[in-house]
Structure 1
């Protein structure tokens, strides 16, 4: 759960930093790639968090 949360926070921070740089994301191709990777990481982090929570709620523990 904590690993997924860290991944989600890091991805969110990546998106914020990308836009805080003055909107350079729109003019540089690598910016699109960075934002896409950050969004995918955020979604993956959320899915991992929910999957692990569901797994542990059924009585399984690490």
Structure 2
């Protein structure tokens, strides 16, 4: 099995690892609310849950029904 003869220095190790960078998340803009959100994620806006431009859950209606 191959193994290194000498220990690599910290600077050589850090040069190799310098290519791993954190990317900015891709954000989409909703058609209905004009709010930015992560792709493929549901999000809340004024107690309403949206996903792909559609309403999944309306929290305001449930509160009115219970009163």
TM range (shorter): under 0.3
Q: Rg bigger for which structure?
A: 2
Larger relative contact order (C-alpha < 8 A, sep ≥ 6)?
Answer: 1
The structure with the greater share of residues assigned to helix is 1
